[in-house]
Amino acid sequence: MRPSAKKIASLLSQKGYKLTAQRRAVIDVVVNSHEHLAPAALYERVRRTHPAIGLVTVYRTLEMLHELGLICRVHRGEKHGYTLAPSGHHHHLVCTECGTVADFTGCDLEALQQRLSQQTGFKIEGHLLQFLGYCRDCQGGT
Amino acid sequence: MRPSAKKIASLLSQKGYKLTAQRRAVIDVVVNSHEHLAPAALYERVRRTHPAIGLVTVYRTLEMLHELGLICRVHRGEKHGYTLAPSGHHHHLVCTECGTVADFTGCDLEALQQRLSQQTGFKIEGHLLQFLGYCRDCQGGT
DNA sequence: TTATAAATGAAAAACATTTTCAATTAAGTA
DNA sequence: TACTTAATTGAAAATGTTTTTCATTTATAA
Ligand SMILES: [Mn+2]
Ligand SMILES: [Mn+2]
Ligand SMILES: [Zn+2]
Ligand SMILES: [Zn+2]
């Protein structure tokens, strides 16, 4: 269940963040787009309703939302894509042809993580998992 | 078992690549360093024996070696680190404090991959897996 | 209303990576 | 060995993303 802009906003002020027009604008765009958009693309959309906003602010807001676990990030080479975090922990399947992203849950890495902790002595705090391939539409072509 | 510079070189010419002094120099550095170095760091080292080399050539050579599966890449935010690929398919544990990287094998994602293929219709060609945490030396600090 | 720390945004800086293109060169062929 | 040529190189500029700086603005609590 996707959180609403209202819910996110109240969570922010609860955490002591100021509720600025810019933050609301970024949150609105994130909530209303279902793709994993890059900061620049989100910036473009935010500017439609809030032309004076700075790209920096978009970056800062995304960073903040990401730290709070409210949005998720997909890795595409140098670029990042952000979208609302669906329901908690999840990962991505990325089409290397068209860029489509599909979310999935149930990565089931606990056993592996435990083994690695023992073998290496690392205290593991998180992981990055992403599958790459061709989405249904991009198979069969060149 | 780490492949030797000679082995890599002969593989390249076998594949139709020219064996240039620059490529040899990059390969030598990669073979002789056990860290996952960024292109800029590798460039620095290569320049010690080959001062005239261009950073572009380092990038191009790393790209080529990576395509051929001869070196592996670790993802650290925007930067990449490269090192000789140990024995085939493996992944990384990265210390978010000091940057230490540990390799591991046995990611065991086949079952998950199969499930995702069925659920999403993606034709999965590869994956990106990385654990993040604190290495032994960086635990207990701040 | 006032005080104040947080937040903003323009501009510049910092990086990493890629593109361009003229000059060079490895390696096969005569 | 002396060509021939396509591959390779590297300087420079371009690209593109993200961060830093710092003066100005503003949300929020008192
Ligand atoms: Mn997602
Ligand atoms: Mn490795
Ligand atoms: Zn696709
Ligand atoms: Zn460490």
Give distance in angstroms: CA of B128 to centre of ligand 3.
18
pTM above 0.95, yes or no: no
Q: Which two tokens stand for residue A63?
A: 């960073």
User: B123-134 and B91-95: which strand pairing?
Assistant: parallel
**Structural domains of chain B ordered from first start:** 5-138 (1.10.10.10)
Q: Is pLDDT above 80 for B25?
A: yes
Name, of A56-60, A103-107, B89-93, the range with top average pLDDT: A56-60
A36/C12 CA-to-C1' distance in Å = 29
- Over residues B13-36, the mean pLDDT reads 94
Min CA distance, B49 vs chain A (Å)? Answer: 30
For chain A, say whether B54 makes contact (Cβ under 8 Å): no
CA B121 to centroid of ligand 3, rounded, Å = 11
Task: Strands of A4-141 (E only): list them.
Answer: 71-76, 79-84, 91-95, 101-104, 123-134
Distance, CA of A100 to C1' of D25, in Å: 40
Q: Beta strand pairing status for A123-134 and A91-95? A: parallel
Contact B120 A113 (CB under 8 A): no
Closest CA to B103 of B111, B94, B114: B94
Residue with more model confidence, B76 or B123: B123
Q: Tell me the average pLDDT across A55-82.
A: 86
What pLDDT shows up at residue A2? 78
pLDDT in tens, A69-80: 888 888 776 677
Contact between B130 and A132 using a beta-carbon 8 Å cutoff:
no
Contact B123 A133 (CB under 8 A): yes
CA of A72 to the centre of ligand 1 (A): 5
Q: What percent of chain A has pLDDT over 70?
A: 94
